[in-house]
């Protein structure tokens, strides 16, 4: 974790201490709004003639007696008033620009949720260390990813970067294109399109348009674009399915919303067909707005490709007969976890002459995708290489459109040709080479692991405190066993870890959980996002004024093997009395972060070694079985 990343995480942690903040989404909203204001202050006044005498962002508010004047209502309107008065005094032209008007309109829809003037004051003090350079944009994107991992609801605003990069690379935007995203989210598609053009040694800015009906999304996207030096004048808050305009676009990139429309009657004036689902309406809207010769790449739920309802059937027929649907990339399950487990595909279609076939590619990953195991850029390497060539491979094939149109249902879920029988395709020489290659990987991992250990990072402990002095330790709420489901919205944690799922939650955000009852009591989990905690586990709630980095505390508690404190044979349990007086040594917050990251690296490297050993063991067993079978029954 670099310095700027630590600073932004510290800002988020500070905001989350306020009683008006209920989730990481609230914290991201507040941080983004203030950063947007600070960005304009820092950037706009940089070249003014009063540069030498200008105040820091924080001192602006002291100058206006912001914190001491009880008459001043604490909201973003007051923030804007302070800046606006300053800009007028400076006679700065920016205040009259469409960009400043855009910022005004964005913040009109964002409430200031921070209730504590003290926390706000501390926050502004920390923000004095923020520098608006290229690294800030990259770190902000990481913060968005952290938000989606911790909050299920926020997944609607973020598309994994590996997917965005792959879509942009194969669609190849140019600076002449008008580029549009009707479900803007955090603005990732537009930003990567700009980066792609700059990477091709073109220094010209592109014209981008984006729309989203969520004020939260517009705020995130506006700041994200500004940090990447992009114009936000054409970023619009509103429903693209209702706010009709005549614009058409050369490139449309989007991850469209999906699910049932709660009130389809509001859209009837805009569409001749009667749509009941967001994914069909958005795809229809994209088709209408794609200019002649235009290109589109759209992520859709896989049900859109095979659903036999007329709404879906008619849309697929139009796509096949009026547009050049030339490629479909099927993505593995779990792409959007924990937000959604729905399987999706990417449709690539142009408003050009219709081709004769569709190139289908199925993205494969080494391991199933989970909340912690995300899709990687490496997973898209082959599809990017083969996309323009449209070649057939182990993971791709060509299908004639005529064959699809001649079949009932117009099913676009294309299956790859069946692979060879495993026994017939098994090559001993390849398997031996694989084992030797993995041996080199294993040696490399062991070398990296020992190097990590040898780093032997130092810690300067400031003080030692008892666990009860740092935090409140409470057990969770009882939950009847038959109410716990095998699938559901939120994981349920008991004494031994996850025991199922439930539709409600007791805890949100970052939490440390200690198993209280059961054979594995004393196990320690650091969790992100909403969970239900039963009364068979403890939660750790920090109540100290000392800054605590939760992953550091998690590693510390895990290392103590708390299970040894359990009492009882039939039903082992740990009591509050046994853990409350545990001594915790605390270095500075920065060192806590550094040490926790180091511990994570060591732990992850250990898991990689264990996984590789498991693969090697399975491969040895597979090779042994093949040799036996091939020599005994293989020729029968």
**What is the per-residue pLDDT for 71?**
46
- Taking residue 472's Cβ as centre, other Cβ atoms within 10 Å add up to 12
Mean pLDDT calculated for residue range 322-348: 89
Closest CA to 423 of 615, 616, 625: 625
Lowest mean pLDDT among 209-223, 329-343, 377-391, 432-446: 432-446
- Top-ranked range on mean pLDDT: pick from 39-48, 190-199, 429-438, 611-620: 190-199
Same domain, 121 and 140: no
Mean pLDDT calculated for residue range 86-103: 58
**Is it the case that residue 256 has pLDDT exceeding 80?**
yes
Q: How far apart are CA 164 and CA 186, in angstroms?
A: 12
Same domain, 141 and 23: no
Q: Beta partners for 252? A: 180, 296
For 179, list phi and psi in degrees, rounded to 5: -115, 135
94 pLDDT tier (thresholds 50, 70, 90)? very low
**What is the per-residue pLDDT for 72?**
47
In a domain, 430, yes or no: no
Same domain, 203 and 322: yes
**What is the per-residue pLDDT for 593?**
86
User: Which CATH number belongs to the domain containing residue 363 in this structure?
Assistant: 3.40.50.150
Q: How far apart are CA 203 and CA 399, in angstroms?
A: 39
Mean pLDDT calculated for residue range 460-465: 81
Q: Compute the mean pLDDT over every residue in the chain, rounded to the nearest whole number.
A: 82
Mean pLDDT calculated for residue range 522-544: 86
**What is the per-residue pLDDT for 70?**
45
In a domain, 614, yes or no: no
**Is it the case that residue 89 has pLDDT exceeding 60?**
no
In a domain, 172, yes or no: yes
Question: What is the four-CA torsion angle of 177, 183, 185, 188, rounded to 10 degrees?
Answer: -30
Strand stretches in 271-356, DSSP E? 290-301, 324-330, 344-350
Q: What is the pLDDT of residues 149-178, one digit of tens each?
A: 776 665 566 888 999 999 999 999 988 899
Nearby residues of 96 by Cβ (< 8 Å), 6 or more positions away: none
**Is it the case that residue 625 has pLDDT exceeding 50?**
yes
346 pLDDT tier (thresholds 50, 70, 90)? very high
- Taking residue 611's Cβ as centre, other Cβ atoms within 10 Å add up to 13
308 pLDDT tier (thresholds 50, 70, 90)? confident
**What is the per-residue pLDDT for 354?**
92
User: Which CATH number belongs to the domain containing residue 544 in this structure?
Assistant: 3.90.220.20
In a domain, 309, yes or no: yes
**Is it the case that residue 49 has pLDDT exceeding 50?**
no
The residue among 571, 586, 601 that closes a domain is 586
In a domain, 438, yes or no: no
In a domain, 435, yes or no: no
Question: What is the four-CA torsion angle of 93, 96, 100, 102, rounded to 10 degrees?
Answer: -150
**What is the per-residue pLDDT for 78?**
64
Same domain, 176 and 316: yes
**What is the per-residue pLDDT for 167?**
96
Same domain, 502 and 528: yes
Same domain, 310 and 326: yes
Determine the straight-line distance between the first and last CA of the chain, rounded to whole angstroms: 59
Nearby residues of 578 by Cβ (< 8 Å), 6 or more positions away: 565, 567
Of residues 422 and 107, more confidence is placed in: 107
Give CB contacts under 8 A, 24+ apart, made by 60-67.
60/86, 61/124, 67/117, 67/120, 67/121
**What is the per-residue pLDDT for 547?**
84
Q: What is the pLDDT of residues 466-483, one digit of tens each?
A: 988 888 888 899 988 888
**What is the per-residue pLDDT for 151?**
67
Structure tokens at 73: 């209502």
Same domain, 525 and 551: yes
65 pLDDT tier (thresholds 50, 70, 90)? low
Same domain, 267 and 180: yes
The gap from C-alpha 110 to its chain's centroid, in whole angstroms, comes to 22
Helix (H, G, I), strand (E, B) or coil at 527: strand
The residue among 113, 132, 151 that closes a domain is 132
- DSSP letter assigned to residue 344: E
Sign of CA dihedral 563, 569, 572, 577: negative
**What is the per-residue pLDDT for 155?**
59
Same domain, 399 and 326: yes
Q: Beta partners for 299? A: 255, 346
636 pLDDT tier (thresholds 50, 70, 90)? very low
Same domain, 287 and 238: yes
81 pLDDT tier (thresholds 50, 70, 90)? low
The gap from C-alpha 350 to its chain's centroid, in whole angstroms, comes to 28
In a domain, 440, yes or no: no
Same domain, 355 and 239: yes
**Is it the case that residue 90 has pLDDT exceeding 60?**
no
Mean pLDDT calculated for residue range 583-593: 87
- Taking residue 109's Cβ as centre, other Cβ atoms within 10 Å add up to 13
Same domain, 150 and 126: no
In a domain, 604, yes or no: no
**What domain count does the chain have?**
3
The residue among 357, 384, 405 that closes a domain is 405
Enclosing domain of residue 31: 3-132
Q: What is the pLDDT of residues 416-453, one digit of tens each?
A: 875 444 445 556 666 677 677 667 777 777 777 787 77
Mean pLDDT calculated for residue range 501-505: 88
**What is the per-residue pLDDT for 351?**
95
Q: What is the pLDDT of residues 517-531, one digit of tens each?
A: 887 788 898 887 788
Structure tokens at 431: 């398997």
């Amino acid at each position: 974790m670099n310095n700027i990343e630590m600073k932004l995480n510290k800002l988020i942690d500070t905001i989350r201490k306020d009683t008006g903040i209920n989730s990481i989404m609230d914290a991201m909203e507040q941080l983004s709004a203030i950063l947007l204001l600070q960005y304009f202050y820092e950037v706009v006044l940089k070249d003014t003639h009063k540069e030498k005498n200008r105040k820091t962002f924080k001192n602006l508010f002291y100058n206006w007696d912001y914190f001491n004047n009880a008459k001043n209502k604490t909201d973003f309107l007051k923030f804007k008033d302070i800046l606006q008065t300053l800009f007028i005094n400076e006679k700065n032209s920016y205040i009259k620009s469409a960009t400043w008007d855009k910022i005004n309109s964005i913040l009109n829809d964002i409430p200031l949720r921070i209730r504590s003037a003290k926390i706000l004051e501390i926050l502004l003090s920390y923000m004095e260390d923020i520098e608006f350079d290229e690294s800030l944009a990259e770190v902000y994107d990481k913060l968005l990813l952290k938000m989606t991992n911790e909050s299920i609801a926020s997944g609607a605003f973020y598309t994994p970067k590996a997917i965005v990069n792959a879509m942009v690379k194969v669609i190849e935007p140019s600076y002449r294109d008008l580029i549009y995203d009707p479900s803007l989210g955090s603005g990732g598609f537009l930003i990567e399109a700009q980066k792609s053009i700059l990477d091709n040694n073109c220094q010209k800015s592109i014209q981008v348009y984006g729309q989203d009906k969520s004020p939260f999304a517009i705020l995130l996207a506006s700041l994200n674009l500004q940090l990447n030096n992009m114009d936000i004048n054409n970023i619009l808050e509103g429903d693209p399915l209702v706010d009709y305009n005549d614009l058409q676009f050369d490139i449309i990139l989007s991850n469209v919303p999906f699910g049932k429309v709660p009130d389809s009657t509001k859209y009837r004036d805009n569409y001749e067909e009667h749509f009941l689902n967001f994914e069909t309406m958005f795809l229809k809207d994209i088709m209408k707005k794609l200019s002649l010769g235009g290109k589109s790449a759209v992520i859709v739920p896989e049900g859109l490709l095979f659903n036999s309802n007329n709404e879906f059937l008619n849309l697929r027929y139009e796509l096949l007969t009026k547009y050049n649907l030339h490629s479909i990339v099927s993505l593995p399950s779990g792409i959007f976890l924990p937000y959604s487990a729905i399987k999706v595909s990417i449709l690539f279609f142009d408003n050009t002459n219709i081709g004769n076939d569709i190139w289908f590619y199925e993205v494969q990953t080494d391991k199933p995708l989970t909340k912690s195991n995300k899709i990687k850029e490496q997973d898209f390497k082959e599809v990017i290489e083969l996309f323009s060539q449209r070649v057939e491979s182990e993971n791709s094939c060509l299908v004639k459109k005529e064959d699809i149109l001649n079949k009932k249902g117009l099913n676009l879920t294309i299956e790859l040709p069946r692979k060879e029988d495993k026994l017939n395709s098994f090559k001993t020489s390849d398997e031996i080479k694989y084992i030797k290659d993995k041996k080199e990987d294993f040696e490399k991992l062991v070398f990296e692991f020992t190097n990590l250990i040898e780093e032997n990072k130092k810690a300067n402990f400031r003080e030692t405190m008892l666990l009860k002095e740092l935090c409140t330790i409470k057990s969770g709420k009882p939950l009847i066993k038959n109410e716990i489901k095998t699938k559901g919205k939120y994981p349920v944690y008991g004494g031994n870890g996850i025991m199922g799922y439930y539709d409600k939650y007791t805890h949100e955000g970052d939490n440390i959980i200690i198993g209280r009852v059961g054979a594995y009591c004393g196990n320690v989990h650091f969790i992100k996002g909403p969970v239900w905690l039963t009364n068979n586990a403890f939660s750790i709630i920090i109540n100290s004024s000392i800054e605590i980095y939760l992953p550091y505390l998690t590693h510390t508690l895990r290392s103590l093997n708390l299970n040894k404190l359990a009492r009882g044979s039939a039903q082992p349990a740990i009591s509050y009395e046994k853990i409350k007086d545990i001594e915790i040594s605390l270095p500075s917050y920065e060192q806590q972060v550094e040490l926790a990251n180091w511990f994570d690296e060591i732990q992850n490297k250990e898991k990689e070694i264990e996984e590789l050993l498991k693969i090697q063991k399975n491969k040895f067993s597979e090779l042994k079985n093949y040799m036996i079978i091939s020599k005994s029954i293989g020729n029968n």
